[in-house]
Amino acid sequence: MSAEAPTRDEDLVTALGAGDPRALTELMQRYQRPLYGYLMRMLNSREDADDVFQETFLRVVRHAQRFDANRRFRPWVYAIASNLVKNTYRARTNRGAQSLDPGGEDDGPSLLSTLEGRGREPIESAQLEESAERVRGAVERLPEKGRVALVLFYYQGLPYAEIAEVLEIPVGTVKSRIHNALGKLGRELARREATS
């Protein structure tokens, strides 16, 4: 890109809408890590995360010309991705697919935590995995609305206002959902501990 290339995400989308495909590559480079992390966190499947990432940017390209430059790009792209995540859940339900972290007590460590555990010392890795597995399993069993708000806020670092834009709900509702999700998480972990 030229020296005067736009640096704001919103400028890049405008440039993409005006026909500059290099802006697309730049946007993907900026968002591949956070968005892919979000998708992996929500979907727990590399294949699904890949698909949704590609579909998200396909939609960005298709709707770039309609993008309102006064809006922020990040909530927009997360909103698209979140809707696609919802569709993926629905498709999984329809085909009866099981999550990689179904939450059963005897299911063993998830693929995600197993992969993440590589490279650690065995004992440390096992302890961390056990604890992380317990929490991640509980997070994944949260109701979808609360889980999305929780993941966007704590794992993706989005501020309340942007989460409100992503989910199209008031900021107060975002806070409420996060608060309720924390409560449910605590109850779920306590219940699991009591039964184990």
Place of tokens 């059963």: 104
Angle, CA 77 vertex, CA 137 and CA 14 arms, to 5° = 165
Told to check if 25 binds other proteins by CB under 8 A, we report yes
User: Considering beta carbons, is residue 5 or 135 the nearer one to other proteins?
Assistant: 135
Longest pairwise C-alpha distance within the chain: 62
Shortest Cβ 39–other proteins spacing (Å): 9
Q: Is 186 in the site for other proteins (CB under 8 A)?
A: yes
Question: For residues 49 and 69, what is the distance between their CA atoms, to the nearest angstrom?
Answer: 27
Contact criterion met (CB below 8 Å) for 86 and 52: no
Q: SS3 breakdown of the chain: % helix, strand, coil, rounded to 5?
A: 75, 0, 25
CB of residue 172 to other proteins, shortest distance in Å: 4
In the set 7, 29, 94, 196, which binds other proteins (CB under 8 A)? 29
Residues in region 140-169 near other proteins by CB under 8 A:
150, 153-155, 168-169
CB of 195 to other proteins, least distance (A): 16
Among 6, 11, 36, 92, binds other proteins (CB under 8 A): 36
Of the candidate residues 15, 76, 148, 152, the single one contacting other proteins (CB under 8 A): 76
**In the chain, which ranges are E strands?**
none
Q: Does 34 bind other proteins (CB under 8 A)?
A: yes
Distance, CA of 13 to CA of 23 (rounded, Å): 7
Site for other proteins in 114-133 (CB under 8 A): 115-120, 128, 131-132
